[in-house]
Amino acid sequence: MLTIAPFDSDLDEVVAFARRFEQEALEHYPALPRPDLTALPDMLNRIAARSHGLVARDRGEMVGCLTVIGPFSNYHGGASGIFSPLLTCLAQPEHADRIFTEMLTALGEASELDGVDTMAVSLFAHQANLRESVVLNGFGARCADAVQQLDLLPQSTSDFPFAIEEVHWRDAVSIIEVKRALAAHLNGSPVFMEYFDFTPEFVAKKSEERESVHLIARDGDRIVGYVEATYAGENYLTIHPTMRNICGAGVLPEYRDRGIMRELVARLADRYRAEGITTLGVDYETMNPNARGFWERYFVPYTRSFERRFDRPWSRS
């Protein structure tokens, strides 16, 4: 008999359950660097301190867990949203649909989440049974993380027609034209994201906070493309001394399809290879066909994130 209950303050059981899925993923995606053994429990403990979590058991044996952080205001266009990070939504594969559905049902009755109207969940890309249940429960794909070893990325060319340069994070505001073009693309068809416009203050602040590496493509005096990379990505597996993560990229519309982004990624790989970095990650919106088409040509997706808007907010009649 399947039972759903809040998980205890002692997370050892949850960590042991999640560890099986972590090890399976590391075998499935060999480009991912191997995390320290403390990385998973540290991540789960940080999340548990500010989350609502459930455990599913069948005859006393743990067969699933669902933990969410939030609620957050103005989450992905919703009034209030919650998010289940990587390895906090898990279910025994052979019964994944039943387990996830019952955990989701119990979560929707939690008074702590009263009024939530948006939920997102991150899964490993190969978790087919759980992914199918998520989709059947009304969630749609939104974004992904992908990874690749530097030596398997495109090679740079010596006679590229545009100048490729590095811009210090203090001067990142110079890229604002390309960033605004990216925002316009995300707001429009076929992406339809409610994406904010980049202001000089925001660009400067975020670049300083992350100490971002920016490579740009220049046509004369005009910056026509950029790629931005940081130490940390969107999940705990990206925080590794041998890995860096692309967190922003764009090319002006009139300069697309001229190999600019391919060359920027190749030069970024050259830069990091010289520092002893072996792996590059990227996160992107899968509902952006330009991003999906480019990144999945060179990188291997290892997570898929899904989101659902609820017509009637949770816990309200």
**pLDDT greater than 60 at residue 67:** yes
The residue ranges of every structural domain in the chain are: 2-138, 149-301
Query: What would the two tokens of residue 164 be?
Result: 């490729």
Q: For residue 247, how many C-alpha atoms fall within 13 Å in the half-sphere facing its CB? A: 19
- pLDDT tens sequence across 158-186: 999 999 999 998 999 999 999 999 999 99
Q: How far apart are the C-alpha atoms of 63 and 129, rounded to whole Å?
A: 14
For residue 58, how many other CB atoms are within 10 A of its CB? 15
Query: What would the two tokens of residue 168 be?
Result: 């210090």
- On whether the CB atoms of residues 145 and 235 are closer than 8 A, the answer is yes
Identify the sign of the CA torsion 219, 149, 16, 45. negative
- Supply the pLDDT for residue 3: 95
- Supply the pLDDT for residue 195: 77
The CATH architecture of the domain made up of 2-138 is: 3-Layer(aba) Sandwich (3.40)
- On whether the CB atoms of residues 130 and 90 are closer than 8 A, the answer is yes
- On whether the CB atoms of residues 178 and 250 are closer than 8 A, the answer is yes
**pLDDT greater than 60 at residue 256:** yes
- On whether the CB atoms of residues 206 and 174 are closer than 8 A, the answer is no
Alpha helices by DSSP H, 122-199:
128-136, 176-187
- pLDDT tens sequence across 113-137: 888 999 999 999 999 999 999 999 9
Q: Can you tell me which residue has the tokens 């042991």?
A: 16
**pLDDT greater than 50 at residue 243:** yes
- Supply the pLDDT for residue 194: 80
- Contacts of 81-84 with C-beta under 8 Å, sequence gap 24+, read 81/116, 81/117, 81/118, 81/119, 81/120, 82/52, 82/113, 82/116, 82/118, 82/119, 82/120, 83/119, 83/120, 83/121, 83/122, 84/119, 84/120, 84/121, 84/122
How many residues in total does the chain contain?
317
What single-letter amino acid sits at 79?
A
What single-letter amino acid sits at 191?
V
Of the candidate ranges 2-6, 8-12, 79-83, 112-116, the one whose mean pLDDT is the lowest: 8-12
- Supply the pLDDT for residue 23: 98
Identify the sign of the CA torsion 66, 51, 288, 245. negative
Q: Region 229-233: what's the mean pLDDT?
A: 96
Equal CATH topology for 2-138 and 149-301: yes
Mean pLDDT of the chain: 94
pTM of the model: 0.95
Q: Does domain 149-301 have CATH number 3.40.630.30?
A: yes
Query: What would the two tokens of residue 150 be?
Result: 């530097």
